[in-house]
Structures are given as structure tokens and as C-alpha cells.
Amino acid sequence: MKTKLKTIIAIGLLASSQAFFWSCDDDDASVSKPVISDLEIGLDDSHKAYVGSDLHVEAEIIAEGLIDKITIEIHQEEGGDDEIELEYDEYEGLRNATFHKHVDIPSETVPGEYHFHLTVTDQEGNQTSVEEDITIALK
């Protein structure tokens, strides 16, 4: 009878310890924000674009929470009204992506210093942005 009692206690302890470990699942863990790396802006990463032409943009993106959308915003540094806003959803659902686009710079864009923002939003609502200074010049 003592052996049977010891066996029951041992099984009970084993079952309760397993329940403890199983209850610590990843459901409560938050998802890391997206990561943007190897950003290249302009030909040969020159950070320069030309009015009436396009701006080369490339970056590696890793989004543990899966990509929802990627946005680009380009606006004048000093109080101007020129602004370019673009949203890309063709990367939706991907965990890893090489983002490669050519952003049109309209012919009416005022040359000067601009701020460039690349933002990645994942399906969990996390966002990561990078900001760089660029120059838009006449050809």
C-alpha cells in the first residue's frame, strides 16, 4: 500500500510540474518591433534625388509580427509644403522582405533639403521608423 501511495504522489507531482511548464507558453510574450537594416537611399546611397526623376530606396526588413504595410514620407526640412507620401501593402504577411522601390520625384518639387522617413508597421501594430536627410536637386 505504501508503494501505491508513493506512486500516486510521484505521478501527482510530475503532473503538476508539467502543468506549470505548459502554462508558460508564448501567448503572453510580446512580438518584437520590425527591424529595418541596410537602408540605401539614392544611387550608391548618395541620399540625393533629382526633380522629375526617381529616388532609389532599398532596405532589408524583418518583422516577427508579419508586415502589414510600409510607408515612405518625404517632406521639406524648412517649412515648405512639398511632401510625398506613399504606402505599400504588397509585402503584407511577409516576415522577411527586401524592400526595393523607385519613388517618383514630381517635376514641380522645389529643390532643397528634405527629410526621408521609412516606416514599417507589423500586423500586431508595432512600428519602426528610420529618418534620413536627403537632398532633392535640379538635374
* DSSP label of 77: S
Return per-residue pLDDT of the chain as tens, 139 residues. Answer: 555 555 555 555 555 555 444 444 445 468 999 999 999 999 999 999 999 999 999 999 999 999 999 999 999 977 778 899 999 999 999 999 999 999 999 999 999 999 999 999 999 999 999 999 999 999 8
Q: Does domain 35-137 have CATH number 2.60.40.2550?
A: yes
Burial class (CB in 10 A: 0-12, 13-18, 19+), 62: middle
21 φ/ψ sector (left φ>0, alpha ψ -120 to 50, else beta): alpha
Query: Any idea where the domains of the chain sit in the sequence?
Result: 35-137
SS3 state at 75: strand
Give the per-residue pLDDT at 3: 58
Q: Whole-prediction pTM value?
A: 0.78
